[in-house]
């Protein structure tokens, strides 16, 4: 534990400081990671890298794995094993690969027949794996969810997953402190999802770039842990690396009795609580950015466009892009209106929906289901609703809901009651939208094609999605239900069962109806041309061990003018099912690059000469690479031949991921300078990036502008350094840190089913196979694989 210092510190400062293993003069920090969650999409290449380099997982006792993104949400009654259960080849390969890897590396794993399986961001807190004051990472952008506990939790790319597996550390820098204070009270019918949608509407999707947001104020304090998780979950949609809430009595109450939390009432518990209480920001602590919001200004909120910042109160109308501030925003607005099939001026409540999805790591916890069931109870979904899905976040949430009879309320109303997984949040499994279908969704991203190619997503709270299902249109839940207080505030006192229950799944809604629809969706959502475009001119690393050196890059630069180019647009979800880093060039910008019939879109820049040979992208719109943590985005760019992106600003995870692949993202804030570079790109002339001198030059060698790059990153790029190798040289410091923390915060060393004794008393979580019939009985320690 850090000693008290005189300068007032924020919650973030304290947690960050307590995890520093080493700090360089330039501010590069080796940060210790307490908790690592692993899922099937972003881990295969990391394990492969580990294996190729002959490395082990350093802390299996601090690592927890599950399958969530690819898994079907249909009944598991006939489940024998994952290999026979998942029909789709690529999805199956990813899940089977994870199972092989957890066996090989001895990692605790909740498989499909374990009740504790579910979305990573639901199961971590549920098991007490996520604890206050910890650092938590996962190869997934919504790791920010865990910040609700006062943990510093953030998403990382696959190279960093490999780095954490091998070293339990990450190389990073300090973030800015941002405070979002929501005071007052929430009106009836307004929930935490409305709070965060409202906040993102205010700050924009790049508002939190480079910062960690601390959510505070009386509204936040009054919220349950589940509601706080929904808020922190979407910090990433506000551009922040992480969101945090100071731990308090509500946090401690939630943690009592969780399998991996210190035992309630024990000396260790008391010590932990005392530490957790010390984490709150000191009075007078300084924030770089401050946002104040009055709770009474928030009303049920929905999105209208294809970025999470495009929010409007449900009582509002579809905005008119012609009223937007800049030409760029007008153009983006027009495209969104067209994509979403909307007419400016239409009242939001007049918009008909086709499908309803209640689920995702934002809103699939027991309170979300309780709140939605309260709206649905005794009613039927509207005739125009083709499908309404309830997808619990974990097997335990599902069990709990069934014990409370919520499943019955939903199925009586016409909803499908599904098994746990990410499902229609991003549709890596068969739950997807058909083209042009409109969905009322409790998930967190409304990007183009997110829930299915050409699908249209409106984000909202669980009660609002439930209301939409009943009315058949986007609807104001306040007109349907009498509320005494906000849904989540009341729920704060309802305890949730944290222990595992044995027993099979209950009966499911009739799944036969969905099959045709699913088949249809599937066909339209598949890439039409998936043959990889191999660009041999670009050396590519097959693991993070050793990168090509980056000194100077000369080539054609493709101009792009869009803001918020998200990673779903750089590479859509159907291409994330690979277990390799290569062969993704043909998938780059898939939706923009190809027409629905598979032919090339001649208007897209990379389909025009000379840009087919582009090695650089010059984007004049801010926030390039926002959204998911998928390292597939830089892999696809790299595979196409693009080694550098120049833009006014970047989303943090994409920025990091690029460097890990020997690529150079260059932020240029000076608009005039960026314009000079952009003009060369538009003219189709080559430009040159001179990294040692930090200059961008035209084809004649004249300097167009200078650029900034962090010293350590430059050093690694110029020398082609493998940063895992670098970190491993710090073994003494890491071991010393671990020994100290075992004394100070002993509850963080593997416990319960994560704790296995190896040789010399060293913690080695050896996974033990269990019978397939075992559905999570604690005493059998069902590390099921």
Ligand X SMILES: CC(C)[C@H](C(=O)O)[C@@H](O)C(=O)O
Q: What is the token pair recorded at 737?
A: 């840190």
Task: Judge contact between 53 and 724, C-beta under 8 A.
Answer: yes
Site for ligand X in 683-712 (CB under 6 A): none
Cβ of residue 70: shortest distance to ligand SF4, in angstroms?
10
Sort 126 into a burial class: Cβ within 10 Å, 0-12 / 13-18 / 19+: buried
42 binds, among ligand SF4, ligand X, none (CB under 5 to 8 A by kind): ligand X
Lookup result for tokens 């009386």: 218
Cβ of residue 693: shortest distance to ligand SF4, in angstroms?
40
**179 SS3 class:** strand
User: Of 295 and 421, which has the nearer Cβ to ligand SF4?
Assistant: 421
Q: How far apart are CA 42 and CA 98, in angstroms?
A: 10
Sort 738 into a burial class: Cβ within 10 Å, 0-12 / 13-18 / 19+: middle
Piece of 419-427, 659-667, 695-703, 722-730 that binds ligand SF4 (CB under 6 A): 419-427
Q: How far apart are CA 41 and CA 45, in angstroms?
A: 9
Q: Where does residue 27 fall: left (phi above 0), alpha (psi -120 to 50 degrees), or beta otherwise?
A: left
Piece of 136-144, 183-191, 297-305, 548-556 that binds ligand X (CB under 6 A): 136-144
Q: How many CB atoms lie within 10 A of CB 77?
A: 11
User: Of 172 and 629, which has the nearer Cβ to ligand X?
Assistant: 629
630 binds, among ligand X, ligand SF4, none (CB under 5 to 8 A by kind): ligand X
434 binds, among ligand X, ligand SF4, none (CB under 5 to 8 A by kind): none
63 binds, among ligand X, ligand SF4, none (CB under 5 to 8 A by kind): none
Assess 69 for contact with ligand SF4 (CB under 6 A): yes
Lookup result for tokens 């180019």: 565
- Write out the H or E segment, with its range, that includes residue 408: helix 406-413
Find all residues with CB under 8 Å of 285, minimum gap 6, and list them.
8, 9, 10, 13, 177
Assess 425 for contact with ligand SF4 (CB under 6 A): yes
Task: Judge contact between 474 and 451, C-beta under 8 A.
Answer: no
Assess 146 for contact with ligand X (CB under 6 A): no
Binding-site member from 258, 458, 630, 751 for ligand X (CB under 6 A): 630
DSSP state of 2: P
Cβ of residue 240: shortest distance to ligand SF4, in angstroms?
15
Assess 99 for contact with ligand SF4 (CB under 6 A): no
576 binds, among ligand X, ligand SF4, none (CB under 5 to 8 A by kind): ligand X
What distance lies between CA 46 and its chain's CA centroid?
18
Binding-site member from 279, 361, 382, 397 for ligand SF4 (CB under 6 A): 361
Binding-site member from 76, 142, 473, 581 for ligand X (CB under 6 A): 142
41 binds, among ligand SF4, ligand X, none (CB under 5 to 8 A by kind): ligand X
Q: How far apart are CA 151 and CA 133, in angstroms?
A: 5
101 binds, among ligand SF4, ligand X, none (CB under 5 to 8 A by kind): none
Find all residues with CB under 8 Å of 313, minimum gap 6, and list them.
299, 300, 301, 302, 348
Sort 769 into a burial class: Cβ within 10 Å, 0-12 / 13-18 / 19+: exposed
Cβ of residue 364: shortest distance to ligand X, in angstroms?
13
Site for ligand X in 421-460 (CB under 6 A): 426
Lookup result for tokens 């604690």: 778
194 binds, among ligand SF4, ligand X, none (CB under 5 to 8 A by kind): none
Assess 426 for contact with ligand SF4 (CB under 6 A): yes
Q: How far apart are CA 193 and CA 199, in angstroms?
A: 10
Assess 620 for contact with ligand X (CB under 6 A): no
User: Of 41 and 375, which has the nearer Cβ to ligand X?
Assistant: 41
Assess 141 for contact with ligand X (CB under 6 A): yes
Q: How far apart are CA 234 and CA 461, in angstroms?
A: 12
Binding-site member from 374, 444, 656, 658 for ligand SF4 (CB under 6 A): 444
Assess 579 for contact with ligand X (CB under 6 A): no
Q: Are strands 695-698 and 703-706 parallel, antiparallel or unpaired?
A: antiparallel
User: Of 444 and 657, which has the nearer Cβ to ligand SF4?
Assistant: 444
443 binds, among ligand SF4, ligand X, none (CB under 5 to 8 A by kind): ligand SF4
Lookup result for tokens 């050396």: 539
User: Of 431 and 688, which has the nearer Cβ to ligand SF4?
Assistant: 431
Binding-site member from 15, 18, 21, 41 for ligand X (CB under 6 A): 41
Assess 69 for contact with ligand X (CB under 6 A): yes
Sort 582 into a burial class: Cβ within 10 Å, 0-12 / 13-18 / 19+: middle
- φ/ψ of residue 214, rounded to 5: -100, 120
Provide the mask over 367-406, with x wherever binding to ligand X is found by CB under 6 A and - wherever it is not. Answer: ----------------------------------------
Q: How far is CA 216 from CA 96, 149, 181, 295, in A?
A: 42, 13, 5, 12
Cβ of residue 143: shortest distance to ligand SF4, in angstroms?
9
User: Of 66 and 658, which has the nearer Cβ to ligand SF4?
Assistant: 66
Closest CA relative to residue 360, chosen from 337, 389, 380: 389
Task: Judge contact between 29 and 168, C-beta under 8 A.
Answer: no
Assess 629 for contact with ligand X (CB under 6 A): yes
Q: What is the token pair recorded at 37?
A: 């969650």
Binding-site member from 126, 140, 448, 514 for ligand X (CB under 6 A): 140
Cβ of residue 528: shortest distance to ligand X, in angstroms?
22
| Total chain residues near ligand X (CB under 6 A) | 12
Task: Judge contact between 338 and 429, C-beta under 8 A.
Answer: no
Assess 179 for contact with ligand SF4 (CB under 6 A): no
Terminal Cα distance for the chain, rounded: 37
Cβ of residue 206: shortest distance to ligand X, in angstroms?
17
400 binds, among ligand SF4, ligand X, none (CB under 5 to 8 A by kind): none
- The dihedral sign for the CA sequence 603, 605, 609, 613: negative
Binding-site member from 140, 402, 416, 525 for ligand SF4 (CB under 6 A): 140
Residues that bind ligand X (CB under 6 A): 41-42, 69, 140-142, 155, 426, 576, 628-630
Residues that bind ligand SF4 (CB under 6 A): 68-69, 119, 140, 142, 360-361, 422, 425-426, 443-444
């Amino acid at each position: 534990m850090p000693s008290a210092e005189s300068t007032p510190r924020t919650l973030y400062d304290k947690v960050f400081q307590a995890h520093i293993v080493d700090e360089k003069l330039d501010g590069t920090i080796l940060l210790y990671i307490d908790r690592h969650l692993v899922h099937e999409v972003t881990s295969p290449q990391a394990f492969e890298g580990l294996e190729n380099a002959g490395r082990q997982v350093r802390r299996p006792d601090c690592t927890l794995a599950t399958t969530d993104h690819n898994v079907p949400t249909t009944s598991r009654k006939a489940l024998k094993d994952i290999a026979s259960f998942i029909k789709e080849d690529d999805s199956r390969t990813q899940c089977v690969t994870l199972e092989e890897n957890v066996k090989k590396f001895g990692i605790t794993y909740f498989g499909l027949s374990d009740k504790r399986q579910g979305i990573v961001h639901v199961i971590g807190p549920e098991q007490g794996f996520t604890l206050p004051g910890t650092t938590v990472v996962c190869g997934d952008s919504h790791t920010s969810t865990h910040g609700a506990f006062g943990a510093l939790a953030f998403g990382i790319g696959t190279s960093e997953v490999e780095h954490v597996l091998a070293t339990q550390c990450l190389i990073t820098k300090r973030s800015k402190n941002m405070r979002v204070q929501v005071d007052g009270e929430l009106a009836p019918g307004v929930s935490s999802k409305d709070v965060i949608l409202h906040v993102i509407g205010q700050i924009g999707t790049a508002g939190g770039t480079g910062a960690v947001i601390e959510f505070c104020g009386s509204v936040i304090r009054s919220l349950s842990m589940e509601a706080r998780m929904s808020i922190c979950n979407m910090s990433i949609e506000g551009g922040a690396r992480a969101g945090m809430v100071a731990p308090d009595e509500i946090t401690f109450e939630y943690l009592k009795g969780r399998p991996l939390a210190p035992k309630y009432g024990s000396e260790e518990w008391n010590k932990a609580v005392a530490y957790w209480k010390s984490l709150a920001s000191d009075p007078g602590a300084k924030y770089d950015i401050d946002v104040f919001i009055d709770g009474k200004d928030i009303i049920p909120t929905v999105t209208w466009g294809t970025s999470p910042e495009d929010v409007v109160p449900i009582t509002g109308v579809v905005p008119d892009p012609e009223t937007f501030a800049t030409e760029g925003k007008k153009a983006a607005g027009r495209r969104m209106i067209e994509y979403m099939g909307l007419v400016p001026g239409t009242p939001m409540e007049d918009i008909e929906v086709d499908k309803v999805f209640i689920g995702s790591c934002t809103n699939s916890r027991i309170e979300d289901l309780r709140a939605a069931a309260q709206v649905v109870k005794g009613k039927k979904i509207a005739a125009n609703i083709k499908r309404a899905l309830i997808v619990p976040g974990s097997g335990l949430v599902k069990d709990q809901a069934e014990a409370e009879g919520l499943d019955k309320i939903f199925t009586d109303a016409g909803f499908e009651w599904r098994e746990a997984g990410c499902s229609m949040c991003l549709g890596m499994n068969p739950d997807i939208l058909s083209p042009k279908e409109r969905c009322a969704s409790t998930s967190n991203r409304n990007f183009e094609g997110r829930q299915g190619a050409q699908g249209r997503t409106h984000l909202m709270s669980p009660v609002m999605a439930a209301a939409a299902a009943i009315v058949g249109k986007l609807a104001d839940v306040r007109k349907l239900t009498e509320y005494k207080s906000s849904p989540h505030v009341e729920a704060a006192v309802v305890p949730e069962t944290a222990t595992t229950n044995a027993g099979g799944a209950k009966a499911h809604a009739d799944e036969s109806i969905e099959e045709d629809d699913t088949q249809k969706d599937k066909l339209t959502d598949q890439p039409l041309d998936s043959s990889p475009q191999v660009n041999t001119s670009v050396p590519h690393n097959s693991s993070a061990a050793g990168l090509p050196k980056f000194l100077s890059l000369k080539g054609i630069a493709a101009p792009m003018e869009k803001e918020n180019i998200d990673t779903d647009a750089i590479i859509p979800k159907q291409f994330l099912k690979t277990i390799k880093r290569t062969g993704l060039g043909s998938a780059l910008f898939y939706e923009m690059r190809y027409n629905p019939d598979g032919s090339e879109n001649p208007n897209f820049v990379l389909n025009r000469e000379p840009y087919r040979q582009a090695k650089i992208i010059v984007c004049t719109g801010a926030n390039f690479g926002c959204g998911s943590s998928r390292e597939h985005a830089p892999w696809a760019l790299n595979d196409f031949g693009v080694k550098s992106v120049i833009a006014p600003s970047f989303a943090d995870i994409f920025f990091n991921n690029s460097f890990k692949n020997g690529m150079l993202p260059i932020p240029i804030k000076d608009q005039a300078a960026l314009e000079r570079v952009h003009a060369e790109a538009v003219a189709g002339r080559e430009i040159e990036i001179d990294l040692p001198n930090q200059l961008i030059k035209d084809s004649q060698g004249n300097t167009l502008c200078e650029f900034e790059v962090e010293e350590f990153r430059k050093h690694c790029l110029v020398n082609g350094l493998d940063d895992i190798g670098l970190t491993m040289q710090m073994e003494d410091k890491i071991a010393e840190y671990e020994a100290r923390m075992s004394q100070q915060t002993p509850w963080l060393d593997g416990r319960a089913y994560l704790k296995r004794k190896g040789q010399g008393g060293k913690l080695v979580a050896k996974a033990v196979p269990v019978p397939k019939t075992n559905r999570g009985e604690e005493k059998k320690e069902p590390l099921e694989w």
